[in-house]
Amino acid sequence: MPNPQKSPVHDLRSALELLKTLPGELVSTDVEVDPIAELSGVYRYVGAGGTCQRPTRKNGPAMLFNKVKGYPGIQVAIGLVGSRKRVGQFLNCAPERLGFLLKDSVQNPIPPVLLGEGQQPQCQEVVHLASDPDFDLRTLLPAPTNTVEDAGPYFTMGLCYASDPETGKSDITIHRLCVQSKDELSMWLTPGRHIDAFRQKAEAAGKPLPISISIGVDPAIEIAACFEPPTTPLGFDELSIAGALRGHGVEMAKCLTINERAIAHAEVVIEGELLPDVRVREDQNSNTGKAMPEFPGYTGDAKPALPVIKVKAVTHRKNPILRTTMGPGEEHVNMAGIPTEASILDMVERAMPGRLQNVFAHSSGGGKLLAVMQFKKITPADEGRQRQAALLAFSAFPELKHVILVDEDVDIFDTDDVLWAMQTRYQGDNDTIFIPGVRCHPLDPSQSPAFSNRLIQEGTSCKTIFDCTVPLHLKEHFQRCKFMEVDVKRFLPDFEA
């Protein structure tokens, strides 16, 4: 693992300071922006990438909005982890090795630590209690809407932290949170998420579940929070992965109004409780029938009955920087995709050491639906094991839909190279493996009997393997053109590969 002590990043502000030293990685504006659709509309062009409607810019800079309409003294940051290059800068790691770094960090966790008595958490420099008569989430924080169709303003980068009411073990993850009133948020929990398991236990006992929402943190935490089972089973605190990435435990602060902890250096913390047996229609304030743009590139339907968080307090740093993201943007690809890569690398390496060279959770699948796997066949007995590796990938990350297998001479991060392998090393009737009737990700809109009569119910899918590897006995007939190795800088001193 790279030396974590070399990174100057320890919170959102230090991450922004690092980007200021890197040419082309951060832009800012003093022009006032409306958080209602305009902010996301701007960043769609500047650097959203991912599955956003074209035109958009992949690998564009992160952006800082210094003036937000109606919210003096608050800035909004977007796009920080919107390129693998920036994530590599934050984590002191080559972009193509990030999956390996995350895999090693899961295996060497460092638990979070609680600040001692007398230590003032940065996240509690300013306190707003919901019991105050003028308290109103809607005027306190500029939660954006991504489009004019959204169900309402959303906190899209809230690090939700809660604990199992039976075991006390904690979990952190990111969920979409829609502002429903002055002190209520709706929360959509994808089936199988650990916080939902905690919520169900609390609800069965007729009790609320304390939950903190930390916004604006070290990017290492944003990435680490996106691991999923089976890599991080129930009771595994993903903050310990961030601890491994930084070489020390993430500092936590006791919340002021609930029995839970929050990230001490967060820009903003929302304290609240998930209420038992209370549900709300997600678009009750807009009646659009829509939720917000999600990672596959479509606007999701508003959910008819979502759990409710009753907000107890909002605390924040002085002049806070709110962190937000766009669902279909490249940020989602990296936050979801790099942990996906780590999970696949870990499972396949344990089963067949030395064969899987690398994995890319491709941007077109939002970091979840498509994985490109680079597999090296060494002996004749390896023929067919590449397909076993793909099956293991589906087990390592159950929401995965498609796997493209390529040889070690293919650049998995270059889509043209991957498609070249498909055109020259793949025969559809021989190299396509279908696994029908299994669960994938609920946000894939093609998972419907209306789309395919082979699907017996909503939410089922056909997982598919595209084997674009060369049969080992034919390897010598598929050698790529070999050019002379030269020092280009001798001819072009400023050339960067």
| DSSP-assigned letters across all residues of 204-240 | HTT--EEEEEEES--HHHHHHTT--TTTS-TT--THH
The one-digit pLDDT tens for each residue of the chain (497 residues) are: 555 557 899 999 999 999 999 999 999 999 999 999 999 999 999 999 999 999 999 899 999 999 999 999 999 999 999 999 999 999 999 999 999 999 999 999 999 999 988 899 999 999 999 999 999 999 999 999 999 999 999 999 999 999 999 999 999 999 999 999 999 999 999 877 899 999 999 999 999 999 999 999 999 999 999 998 899 998 899 999 999 999 999 999 999 999 999 999 999 999 999 999 999 999 999 999 999 999 899 998 999 999 999 999 999 999 999 999 998 999 999 999 999 999 999 999 999 999 999 999 999 999 999 999 999 999 999 999 999 999 999 999 999 999 999 999 999 999 999 999 999 999 999 999 999 999 888 888 898 888 988 888 888 899 999 999 999 999 999 999 999 999 999 999 988 87
Which residue type does 466 have? F
> Regarding beta strands 460-467 and 402-406, do their DSSP bridges make them parallel or antiparallel, or are they unpaired?
parallel
Q: What is the pTM of this model?
A: 0.94
143, 181 contact by CB (below 8 A) = no
pLDDT of residue 448: 86
pLDDT of residue 496: 80
pLDDT of residue 5: 52
CA dist 390 and 382 (Å) reads: 13
Structural domains present in the chain: 96-321 (2.30.110.10), 332-477 (3.40.1670.10)
* Tokens at 361, concatenated: 């959770």
- Please pick, among 238, 294, 341, 399, the residue that the annotation labels catalytic: 294
For 446-472, give the DSSP string.
T-STTT-TT--STTEEEEEEEE-PPPG
Which residue type does 340 have? T
- Concerning whether 485 is annotated as a catalytic residue, the answer is no
pLDDT of residue 4: 58
CA dist 398 and 440 (Å) reads: 6
161, 301 contact by CB (below 8 A) = no
Q: Enumerate the β-bridge partners of residue 473.
A: none
